[in-house]
Amino acid sequence: MSATGASPLPTTPQPCSPLARAEHFVWLTARVLEQRRFAHHFLGGGADPVETALDAYRNEDGGYGHALEPDLRGPVSQPLHTAHALGVLDSVGRCGGRRVERVCRYLTSVSTADGALPAISPSQRGYPAAPFVPVVDDPPSDLLATGPVVGLLHRNEVWHAWLFRATDFCWQAIGSLRTSHPYEVEAAVAFLDSAPDRPRAEAAADRLGRLVREKRLAALDPDRLDAFPVAPGYAPGEHHFPHDFARTPGSLARAWFTDDEMNRSLDFLADAQQDDGGWPIRWRQWAQGPALEARPMVTIEALRTLRAHGRAVA
């Protein structure tokens, strides 16, 4: 505390550093939630303001809605919104207690017959949504939606009846992959990085890494992107890079790539910061509002990834 009784201000990023430029971008463009998240991760801000901002997206059913994931508009709870909320809570050390019990009740209520999560529940019908996330009456189980949620809950040592069948689904889905696409691989990694059975997770990750390299799902050389195909249905130029799969050095996906490949990937990520201080979104843009809301989210994750890998950002 200072002589006046006020808390000291956090260290200010150096002018023109990547962090200072990103800070200007966030204050200029971001939603309150991303402003609070940026302050928490990079400016010494507390976790309470992040959780308070996130509560604005929570519904009485225990799920999250209100375009928390910008590509799904409208107030209704959705698995993808709720997965995003759990990621925010995990990042500030608040993924536990009664709040997560409520989330698990919601997950149970929207699960498919085999106990997993659909990407989109039919309640989205009537509200705007990205064309690449179609709404159907009886949606199937989806590893993309289920894997990150199960992984987060295991990492935070949450135990709930819902987890048993959902965990079995993730093991079966990952074990049956003979082809895939980058977002599905990211979801699989999110599960495997925190699955309790570590030998099984390491073996599954090894097989998945061979698939990624065989199918060229990771762009290993940013200077030769034409050598790496874009997955069907993705936007032109929507490549994924080693850092997208191994967001931290401790991820099982880090073993998939050589040091040179990872360094090139991180160089590419650092150089992608734009003149306004933010990072670009690489997926298909379908409306102006979602794109504007997504860029601060992408910017925060880019900075967190660079810092996790030991790159200076401040």
Q: For 81-108, how does the pLDDT look when each residue is reduced to its tens digit (9 = 90+)?
A: 999 999 999 999 999 888 899 999 999 9
Q: How far apart are CA 274 and CA 272, in angstroms?
A: 6
Number of H helices, E strands in the chain: 12, 0
Q: Tally the domains of the chain.
A: 1
Task: Look up residue 117 and give its two tokens.
Answer: 């999560």
Q: According to the model, what pLDDT value does residue 11 have?
A: 57
CB 107 within 8 A of CB 79: yes
Task: Look up residue 160 and give its two tokens.
Answer: 């709930």
pLDDT band at 127 (very low <50, low <70, confident <90, very high): very high
Provide Rg for the chain, Cα atoms. 19
Q: How far apart are CA 137 and CA 22, in angstroms?
A: 41
CB 63 within 8 A of CB 123: no
DSSP 263-299: HHHHHHHHHT--TTSPPPP-S----HHHHHHHHHHHH
- CA 2 to chain centroid: 38
Q: How far apart are CA 66 and CA 86, in angstroms?
A: 15
Among positive and negative, which fits the CA dihedral 43, 245, 205, 115? positive
Give a yes or no: residue 151 inside a domain. Answer: no
pLDDT tens-digit profile of 138-171? 999 999 999 999 999 999 999 999 999 999 999 9
Q: How far apart are CA 46 and CA 12, in angstroms?
A: 16
Give a yes or no: residue 197 inside a domain. Answer: yes
pLDDT band at 7 (very low <50, low <70, confident <90, very high): very low
Share of the chain above pLDDT 90, in %: 93
CB 235 within 8 A of CB 71: no
Phi and psi, residue 129, nearest 5°: -150, 155
Give a yes or no: residue 294 inside a domain. Answer: yes
Give a yes or no: residue 163 inside a domain. Answer: no
Residue 305 has pLDDT above 70, yes or no: yes
CB 29 within 8 A of CB 70: no
Give a yes or no: residue 8 inside a domain. Answer: no
CB 152 within 8 A of CB 189: no
Q: Is 87 exposed, middle or buried (0-12, 13-18, 19+ CB in 10 A)?
A: middle
Task: Look up residue 182 and give its two tokens.
Answer: 């980058």
Strand partners, 64: 58
Give a yes or no: residue 85 inside a domain. Answer: no
CB 111 within 8 A of CB 161: no
Give a yes or no: residue 20 inside a domain. Answer: no
Residue 175 CB: number of other CB atoms within 10 A? 12
Query: Which residue type, as a one-letter code, is found at position 252?
Result: L
Task: Look up residue 79 and give its two tokens.
Answer: 């698995």
Residue 2 has pLDDT above 50, yes or no: no
Q: According to the model, what pLDDT value does residue 71 have?
A: 97
Q: According to the model, what pLDDT value does residue 15 have?
A: 72
Task: Look up residue 192 and give its two tokens.
Answer: 């495997």
Domain range spanning residue 213?
177-314
Give a yes or no: residue 108 inside a domain. Answer: no
DSSP 167-199: HHHHHHHHHT-SS--HHHHHHHHHHHTT-S-HH
